[in-house]
Amino acid sequence: MAVGYTKLPKLLPVSGIRLGTTSAGIKKTGHRDLVVVELVEGASTASVFTRNAFCAAPVIAAKEHLTQISPRYFLINTGNANAGTGQPGLEAAQYCCRSLAELTGGNESEVLPFSTGVIGEPLPVKKIVAGLPAALSALDVNGWEQAAHGILTTDTIAKGSSRQIEIQGQTITVTGIAKGSGMIRPDMATMLAYIATDASVDSVLLQQILNQAVATSFNRITVDGDTSTNDACMLVATGASDVAVTAGSEGCEALSNVIRDVCEQLAQLMIRDGEGATKFITIDVQDGRDEGECEQVAYTIAHSPLVKTAFFASDPNWGRILAAVGRAGLDTLDLNGVTIHLGDVCIVENGGRATDYEESKGQAVMDCDEITVRVNLGRGLSAVRIWTSDLSYDYIKINAEYRT
């Protein structure tokens, strides 16, 4: 069960978006594994995809389609990543898009494909195409919850978030769903995310809003340091509310903030549901020369197997954190100016163990399910916050048995 998270909250419908979910038998009979998302004509979209050079066939196809025409449908399958499949995989993705377009009377390029699951296996095209009529029949403005379950792989819980704000005297809704539990690392950490609002926003501004939101959310999480081949995040503005949001306006700032909040909530849920996770860990690196070196320190701590296993054991072995900071590669680091805290407990100062540190204080922090590590570098004004999880027996078991 995810750390500090019990159930999916109520997901508010977004006018102009319908979602349909079904079981196509890709994973196991009876498991929801195929989702169709319908966008109202004229909706604006923004996108961010994986930076993995071996990006999956659906990523290649989706990027190509976005250069041609505004999308009307998202087609999402789980149980198979259609990655590492070469030209046949690309042709399979395109065939699925074409099949959906034929059923809806649209254009193949209006369909964006998304896949998640096992890498290197041929996409089960026949099962997907056979499941399309059922997914279309299930299209519903209230289909968010079913879709949140339909996009999961090794996740233990469905992930979603909804917010409402008032702009120009009208209520604006932002709702998002995401999946991700393992193979999670920034640069579009395997994750898929779909967020929508009924505000009217042009595609250029919408892309700017998404880029800013991703920078402090999906690109600030890591479970295991692995960047997936299939990561994608889509932001849709349907314009169904007739509230036009323009650059520099008060409404733009309000909408940007709520979209960022939704993205951060979804990103944190991925960490809370990290494969085998028992701890939700926040790492704050402060007083760096720039964000780059703050990230360098934060991710060195977050990716250290020794640090992560200490958190799993609730062992206040603070020397592992100190060692990670020391090997992060910062030049001319003044060790006497660095302080490290576990929660509110100072563990390192003046180049060594804090004078008033006691093991019992560190133990009290490590016994918690949610822990903050704060590193002050004492050499600038920049700061970075990331979220990560511990490394447990179950993480090894889940990934060792992933294909069995």
pLDDT of residue 250: 86
Total residue length of the chain: 404
Contact 162, 17 (CB under 8 A): no
In CATH, the number for domain 17-272 is: 3.60.70.12
Residue 226: how many other CB atoms lie within 10 Å: 15
For 329, counting Cβ atoms within 10 Å of its Cβ (0-12 exposed, 13-18 middle, 19+ buried), the class is: exposed
pLDDT of residue 307: 97
pLDDT of residue 6: 76
Under-70 pLDDT residues of the chain:
1, 182-190, 226-227, 402-404
CATH superfamily of 280-400: ArgJ beta chain, C-terminal domain (3.10.20.340)
pLDDT of residue 2: 81
Domain with CATH 3.60.70.12 in the chain: 17-272
Cα angle: 193, vertex 196, 201; to 5 degrees = 125
Q: 28-39 b/e with 16+ CB inside 10 Å = b?
A: eeeebbbbbbbb
List the alpha helices (DSSP H) in 86-165: 86-104, 125-137, 144-150
Contact 184, 220 (CB under 8 A): no
CA pair distance 307, 366, nearest whole angstrom? 12
pLDDT of residue 188: 42
Residue 82: how many other CB atoms lie within 10 Å: 34
- E strands in 343-397: 345-349, 352-353, 370-376, 382-389
C-alpha R_g of the chain? 22
| Residues linked to residue 194 through DSSP beta bridges, in sequence order | 177, 234
pLDDT of residue 402: 64
Whether the CA torsion 349, 350, 353, 354 is positive or negative: it is negative
The pLDDT tens digits for 107-138 are 999 999 999 988 899 999 999 999 999 999 99
Domain with CATH 3.10.20.340 in the chain: 280-400
Residues with catalytic roles: 190
Query: What pTM, to 2 d.p., does this model score?
Result: 0.93
Bridge-based pairing of strands 73-80 and 221-222 is unpaired
CA pair distance 86, 66, nearest whole angstrom? 20
